[in-house]
């Protein structure tokens, strides 16, 4: 059971293990969101029920395709990944457009590019002994994320030119505490 407290409410998540179901429930005081996953040799089906509809996700395993379909009662969103020695290409087809994402493998860079026909979003990760730096370039700015490894802290900082968001996790025998500080508040998560 993992609980998140933000001073204004409680969000309770728990997972019930079952031979075929892995059920996670989130309670926010006003509703329940029930998620469960049904294991199948070829399908990995996760269903979300919020009281007014069902969202059905499943993955069909294939030698070259990993196909995930989401059905909400009004349409289908088909995602698939085409395996390639240098490209990891995932395409989403909704009937009106295509979003093509691919990843170019490099010794120091893990670069993923998304092309929607009107712009490019370039993400890459620079490996470093102590830093794991991910930069996103959209043509108008850079978002720099990096993680500093520490024996007891796992600190990730995001710098966008106007502020810093510091996340760290303090390992404890019974608590897994992650705190986010943005200069005006703290969000404490513990498990």
pLDDT digits (tens, 9 = 90+) for 108-167: 333 333 333 333 333 333 333 333 334 333 333 333 333 333 333 333 433 333 333 333
Q: Looking up tokens 């992650």, which residue turns up?
A: 178
In a domain, 3, yes or no: no
21 is a domain residue:
yes
pLDDT of residue 166: 35
Q: Which residue has 């900082």 as its token pair?
A: 157
Instruction: Please give the average per-residue pLDDT across 2-20, as a whole number.
Output: 37
In the chain, % of residues over pLDDT 90? 0
pLDDT (mean) for 101-105: 36
Q: With bands split at pLDDT 50, 70 and 90, how would you rate the model's confidence at 7?
A: very low
**Would 54 be classed as within a structural domain?**
yes
**Cβ neighbours of 29 (radius 10 Å):** 8
DSSP E strand boundaries for the chain: 2-5, 10-17, 21-27, 32-39, 43-49, 54-61, 66-71, 76-83, 88-93, 98-105, 110-115, 120-127, 132-137, 142-149, 154-159, 164-171, 176-181, 186-190
Overall average pLDDT of the 12-37 stretch? 38
Q: Would 42 be classed as within a structural domain? A: yes
Q: Quick one: pLDDT at residue 188? A: 35
What pLDDT, in 10s, does the model give residues 168-178?
Answer: 334 344 434 44
pLDDT at 168: 37
Residue 188, in any domain of the structure: no
Split into its structural domains, the chain has a count of: 1
Which of 24, 118, 21, 186 minimizes the C-alpha distance to 177? 186
Query: Is position 18 within any domain?
Result: yes
d(CA 167, CA 129): 19
Q: Helix, strand or coil for residue 144? A: strand
Q: Following CA atoms 145, 13, 186, 179 in sequence, which dihedral angle do they give, to the nearest 10 degrees?
A: -50
Q: What is the mean pLDDT of residues 53-70?
A: 37
pLDDT of residue 102: 35
Full domain range(s) for residue 76 = 9-83
Q: What is the mean pLDDT of residues 74-97?
A: 36
Q: Is 63 exposed, middle or buried (0-12, 13-18, 19+ CB in 10 A)?
A: exposed
- Residue 53, domain member (yes or no): yes
Give a yes or no: residue 58 inside a domain. yes
pTM for the structure as a whole: 0.14
């Amino acid at each position: 059971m993992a609980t998140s407290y933000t001073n204004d409410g409680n969000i309770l998540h728990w997972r019930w293990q079952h031979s075929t179901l892995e059920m996670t429930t989130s309670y926010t005081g006003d509703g329940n969101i029930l998620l469960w996953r049904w294991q199948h040799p070829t399908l990995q089906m996760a269903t979300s029920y919020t009281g007014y509809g069902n969202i059905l996700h499943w993955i069909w395993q294939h030698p070259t395709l990993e196909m995930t379909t989401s059905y909400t009662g009004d349409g289908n969103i088909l995602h698939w990944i085409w395996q390639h020695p240098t490209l990891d290409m995932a395409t989403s087809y909704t009937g009106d457009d295509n979003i093509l994402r691919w990843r170019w493998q490099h010794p120091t860079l893990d670069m993923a590019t998304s092309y929607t026909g009107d712009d490019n979003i370039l993400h890459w990760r620079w490996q470093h002994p102590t830093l794991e730096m991910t930069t996103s370039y959209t043509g108008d700015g850079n978002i720099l994320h990096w993680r500093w490894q520490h024996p007891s802290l796992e600190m990730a900082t995001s710098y966008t030119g106007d502020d810093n968001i510091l996340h760290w996790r303090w390992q404890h025998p019974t608590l897994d505490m992650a705190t986010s500080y943005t200069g005006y508040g703290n969000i404490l998560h513990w498990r």
